[in-house]
């Protein structure tokens, strides 16, 4: 049975300010991510990708911006989801945020 042991899995820096532990199958990717943007006065730039995404907030608070949707403030226990190719961004309201993210299909750029 494939298992990812947290204490045996190194974090990988995906982009400046975001580190993650990654597990994946052929079509599903799950990340345990630490976002260290600090408290932001404005959102990160909008971006999109061909993968659907769900994000569960473990700790910290953020604003999520999804094109065509109302901006929402999220706290631990909240989840947001984004359809493929839809522009979206976050704005960190705390020094760090920890989340569990899932993507389908895989974000292959994270595996390089």
Domains and CATH numbers, the chain: 13-105 (2.60.120.10)
Mean pLDDT of the chain: 95
- β-sheet with 52-59: strand ranges across: 12-15, 18-24, 29-35, 97-104, 52-59, 79-82
Give per-residue pLDDT as tens, 21-71. 999 999 999 999 999 999 999 999 999 999 999 999 999 999 999 999 999
pTM, entire model: 0.93
- How crowded is the C-beta side of 61, counted as CA atoms within 13 Å? 6
């Amino acid at each position: 049975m494939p298992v990812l042991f947290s204490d045996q899995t190194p974090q990988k820096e995906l982009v400046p300010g975001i580190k993650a532990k990654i597990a994946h199958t052929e079509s599903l990717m799950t990340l345990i991510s630490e976002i260290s943007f600090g408290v932001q006065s404005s959102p990160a730039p909008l971006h999109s990708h061909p993968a659907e995404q769900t994000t569960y907030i473990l700790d910290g608070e953020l604003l999520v911006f999804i094109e065509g949707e109302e901006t929402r403030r999220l706290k631990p226990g909240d989840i947001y989801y984004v359809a493929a190719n839809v522009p979206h961004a976050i704005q960190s309201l705390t020094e760090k945020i920890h989340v569990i993210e899932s993507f389908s299909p895989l974000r292959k750029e994270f595996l390089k």
